[in-house]
């Protein structure tokens, strides 16, 4: 002990010197971040494709072509699909993620496990680059501040949607583009080399072509430069202008070769996409922002899709709206109050508010009300504020050069306590993303109020049930899954009573799976009542009446379907059969001739016309039609055998043998 005036004097705590920026010593932290990423998301490698992955990988036609498809990827819309109703839909321009999957396809074939592994590496790279940038920005703070910020950022379960979903690689690539842009702009500020402005602008452009959400960095990067460097306003404006020019190029150039975009909006995605009173738009936006605050603090339950009515449309009379408004105004007020002194909490709050603004439903309504991936970048502000607060609660300012070992131990212990349950939640959540049905089943208990989520689950499960029936599985063995479909279709219609697609699909379950046509008719009628221009529902009504031998009821339903969609081949063919059955042969013949004009390579109308001719005693005409049908489809076993039998009867053994040979080549009777 120390002695002074012969009295014992307590020893003062030994200060711990803050570790300043030393690039070589950072490598061990890079390795820790890499290992941590693999621990958190390693179990996603066993996962397959999940929701929306087909847009960018897996069965995507362009991606399947590999590297040679890259020019087409850069000259086409991000999503291009044939909708069941309404024709071709084209929208979005995000070629970077698709390009990475095309390269993977070229090198490794169709392999979702490789893709998941690459997602982990990209996420680790994000953490490493983020740590490197924070080390530069927070060089006057203790090293634990940037390191623990990165660790808490990476471990947060909200990121599972981004890393475990291959489609959401676009989020990772977008943030990487923003981080590389910031990295090069900081290099410009440190070195004065203007070439770094070019590299930074290119990185920003590539990030934007991954996903447009990094437009927020038009404000974030100038904020970073203001808070953490001594950049002059002139230089800061120069950086902003360089990003704006790159953004303009990325927006305008694709318009030179892209066609008209088409993205139909649905009420069940977000009612704010349609006309709602201003007070309800503000109220619902405040609830959305309150949701994001809650999920950062308590990320449970995690759900792949929200939509109507998970966040209810509400006005200013809701107390939660005012709670959210007060909280966010308080945060903004504090940030503005502290902005002149460049306080770290001021920056953290502004970083969060700027990045979450795009997803608040204030700037523009989202297509799903809210989403966990919306917090991917914004969460960094929360984590930075959290670690800073841990230092302050432990009794020290992280920029203080005399931080005690005891304080550091408290901060580390608190971070570990927060990280353990977060890591457990993340690792467990990854298993839910194994494939589409696993994800839907896992989230279903938490999505009772989401019309579209219930519809998606039931529709996909219905498809697997129908496939199993076609494969010969007994009806009784699929009944349990059929009842699950019914439960979720009914939930969808409870949330949104005019959900025509849900009513229609519910009818299909009763008809195709449970073989209960009376119940099916009831739900098909609800579908057409909800949407009087729903072609598929009218077709299904006609088909149900047809298979239950009620042609007088089936005919008007098919006719209505053809009024709405004149070239619906299935409806034309079935209606022709009914016309023939009810003695309206002229109409039946005309419909089949119309089908030939629309689809000349279809054998069915020729078979129908041949059948009519044969029944009317015109064998020569019937043979002409039948032989044309065989010319189109030589593998029709039944028709080949019918022709063989006919020629045997008329004594033409050569032609009889010819059609017998064709029948044998077809392998088995056509089902």
Short-list 558, 570, 613, CA closest to 595 = 570
CB 11 within 8 A of CB 2: yes
What are the pLDDT digits (tens) for 266-324? 999 999 999 899 999 999 999 999 999 999 999 999 999 999 999 999 999 999 999 99
Question: Residue 88: its pLDDT value, please?
Answer: 59
Give me the residue spans of the domains in the chain.
Answer: 450-550
Residue 183 and residue 204 in contact, taking contact as beta carbons nearer than 8 Å: no
DSSP assignment string, 137-156: HTTTS-THHHHHHHHHHHH-
Res 9: pLDDT: 46
Give the CA dihedral 655, 600, 594, 556, nearest 10 degrees: 90
Q: What is the CATH number of domain 450-550?
A: 1.25.40.10
The angle subtended at Cα 556 by Cα 555 and Cα 560, nearest 5°, is: 120
pLDDT of residue 668: 62
DSSP classification of residue 10: P
What's residue 313's pLDDT?
A: 96
Give dist(CA 34, CA 584) in Å, integer. 74
What one-character-per-residue DSSP string does 20-55 give? ---GGGGHHHHHHHHHHHHHHHGGGGG----TTGGG
pLDDT of residue 363: 87
Residues 537, 527 contacting (CB under 8 angstroms): yes
**Mean pLDDT, each 10-residue run in order, the chain (671 residues):** 44 46 72 98 98 90 95 92 56 94 96 98 98 96 97 98 98 98 98 97 98 96 98 97 97 91 88 94 97 98 96 97 98 98 98 97 92 98 98 92 91 98 98 97 97 97 95 95 98 98 98 96 98 97 98 98 95 95 94 95 94 89 94 93 92 92 76 44
The radius of gyration of the chain from alpha carbons, rounded to an integer in Å, stands at 32
Q: Specify the residue for token string 């089908």.
A: 595
Percentage of the chain lying above the pLDDT 70 cut: 94
Q: Are 94 and 209 in contact (CB under 8 A)?
A: yes
- Asked if 144 contacts 371 with a C-beta cutoff of 8 angstroms, the reply is no
Report the 10 Å Cβ neighbour count for 402: 14
What DSSP string describes 468-517? HHHTT--HHHHHHHHHHHHHHHHHHHHHSTT-HHHHHHHHHIIIIIS--H
- Judge if the upstream peptide bond of residue 577 is cis by omega within 30 degrees of 0: no
Q: Residue 469 to residues 270, 512, 519, 521, 597: CA-CA distances in angstroms?
A: 36, 9, 20, 21, 34
């Amino acid at each position: 002990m120390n002695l002074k005036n012969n009295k014992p004097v307590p020893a003062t705590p030994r200060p711990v010197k803050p570790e300043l920026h030393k690039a070589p010593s950072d490598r061990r932290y890079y390795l820790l971040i890499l290992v941590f990423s693999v621990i958190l998301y390693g179990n996603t490698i066993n996962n397959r494709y999940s929701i929306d992955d087909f847009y960018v990988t897996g069965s995507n036609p362009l991606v399947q072509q590999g590297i040679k498809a890259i020019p087409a990827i850069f000259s086409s819309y991000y999503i291009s699909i044939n909708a069941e109703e309404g024709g071709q839909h084209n929208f979005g321009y995000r070629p970077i993620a698709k390009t990475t999957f095309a390269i993977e396809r070229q090198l490794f074939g169709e392999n979702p496990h490789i893709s998941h592994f690459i997602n982990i590496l990209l996420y680790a790279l994000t953490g490493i680059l983020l740590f490197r940038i924070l080390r530069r920005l927070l060089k006057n703070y203790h090293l634990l501040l940037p390191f623990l910020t990165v660790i808490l950022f990476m471990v947060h379960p909200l990121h599972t949607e981004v890393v475990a979903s291959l489609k959401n690689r676009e989020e990772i690539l977008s943030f990487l583009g923003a981080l590389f842009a910031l990295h090069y702009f900081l290099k410009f500020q440190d070195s004065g080399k203007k070439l770094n402005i070019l590299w930074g602008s290119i990185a920003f452009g590539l990030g934007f072509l991954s996903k447009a959400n990094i437009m927020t960095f038009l404000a974030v990067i100038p904020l970073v430069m203001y808070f953490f460097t001594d950049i002059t306003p002139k230089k800061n404006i120069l950086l902003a202008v360089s990003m704006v020019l790159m953004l303009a190029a990325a927006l305008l150039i694709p318009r030179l070769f892209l066609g008209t975009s088409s993205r139909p909006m649905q009420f069940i995605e977000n009612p704010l996409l349609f006309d709602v009173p201003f007070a309800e738009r503000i109220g619902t936006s405040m609830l959305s922002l309150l949701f994001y605050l809650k999920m950062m603090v308590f990320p449970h339950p995690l759900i792949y899709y929200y939509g109507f009515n998970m966040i209810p449309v509400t006005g200013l009379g809701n107390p939660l709206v005012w709670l959210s408004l007060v909280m966010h105004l308080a945060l903004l007020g504090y940030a503005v109050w502290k902005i002149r002194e460049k306080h770290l909490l001021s920056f953290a709050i502004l970083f969060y508010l700027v990045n979450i603004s795009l997803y608040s439903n204030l700037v523009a309504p989202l297509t799903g009300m809210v989403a966990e991936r919306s917090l991917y970048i914004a969460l960094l502000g929360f984590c930075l504020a959290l670690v800073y607060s841990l230092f302050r609660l432990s009794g020290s300012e992280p920029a203080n050069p005399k931080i005690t070992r005891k304080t550091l131990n408290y901060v580390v212990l608190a971070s570990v306590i927060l990280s353990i349950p977060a890591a457990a939640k993340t690792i467990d959540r990854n298993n839910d993303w194994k494939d589409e049905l696993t994800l839907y089943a896992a989230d279903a208990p938490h999505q009772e109020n989401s019309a579209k989520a219930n519809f998606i689950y039931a529709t996909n499960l219905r498809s697997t049930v129908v496939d199993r029936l076609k494969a010969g599985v007994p009806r009784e063995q699929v009944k349990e899954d059929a009842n699950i479909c019914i439960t979720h279709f009914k939930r969808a219609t409870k949330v949104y009573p005019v959900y025509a697609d849900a009513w229609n699909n519910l009818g299909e379950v009763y008809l195709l799976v449970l073989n209960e046509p009376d119940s099916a008719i009831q739900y098909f009628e609800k579908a057409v009542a909800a949407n009087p221009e729903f072609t598929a529902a009218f077709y299904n009504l006609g088909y149900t009446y047809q298979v239950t031998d009620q042609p007088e009821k089936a005919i008007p339903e098919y006719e209505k379907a053809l009024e709405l969609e004149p070239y619906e081949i299935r409806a034309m063919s079935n209606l022709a059969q009914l016309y023939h059955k009810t003695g309206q042969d002229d109409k039946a013949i005309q419909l089949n001739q119309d089908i030939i004009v629309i689809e000349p390579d279809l054998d069915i109308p020729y078979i129908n016309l041949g059948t009519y001719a044969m029944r009317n005693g015109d064998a020569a005409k019937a043979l002409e039609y039948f032989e044309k049908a065989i010319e189109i489809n030589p593998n029709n076993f039944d028709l080949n055998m019918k022709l063989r039998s006919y020629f045997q009867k008329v004594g033409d053994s050569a032609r009889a043998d010819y059609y017998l040979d064709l029948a044998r080549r077809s392998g088995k009777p056509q089902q």
